Amino acid sequence: MDGDRIAEIVGQWRRERPDLDPSPLLIIGRIQQLADLLDAALRPPFAAANLGNGEFDVLAALRREGEPYTLTAGQLSQRMLVTTGAVTKRVDRLIARGFVSRSVFEADARGRVVGLTPAGVALIDRLIEDHLANEAAVLRDLTDSERGGLERLLATLTRAIVSQLSGSETRG
């Protein structure tokens, strides 16, 4: 990437609309740009396994639960912060590939649980190693102090946005 495109954009807005403060773009624009860059940097192992990011998320959510690696669609939805419809589509694709299965929920025969198959466990165990190594490589140029500070700032920003969105839902 040549130069700092976000700073250039802010400079253009300052020139064209000096009555506005475009400085939030220096943070929000960079976060959005960073999200795109992170996807490009972290996606290759998923693509090599012919998985989308969402399918990786299903496998990871199930694996993190521990044995027997099962969750309901509603639980998956909560853990992945997506709709149950999105979960169903992802699960259907993973079932077709033999990485997860769907079975009757023992506590309620009307419900279903999704579980990792042995092939799914093997795949996610391999992919999570690659994924965490890629994340570590992305962060390698930051000191421990910088990483800690960035983590705290991002957590603070996340809480502020969640609070703002929660407040707007109650007002709306």
E strands within the chain?
Answer: 70-72, 100-105, 108-116
Close Cβ partners of 124 (under 8 Å, ≥ 6 residues apart)? 56, 59, 60, 62, 63, 116
Show the domains of the chain with their CATH numbers.
1-42 (no CATH), 50-138 (1.10.10.10)
Quote the pLDDT of residue 110: 60
The pTM of the full predicted model, rounded to 2 decimals, is 0.81
Close Cβ partners of 115 (under 8 Å, ≥ 6 residues apart)? 62, 68, 69, 70, 71, 100, 101, 102, 103
In the chain, the percentage of residues whose pLDDT exceeds 90 is 81
Q: How many CA atoms lie within 13 A of 171 on its CB side?
A: 6
Mean pLDDT of 70-78: 92
pLDDT digits over 109-151, tens only?
Answer: 667 899 999 999 999 999 999 999 999 999 999 999 999 999 9
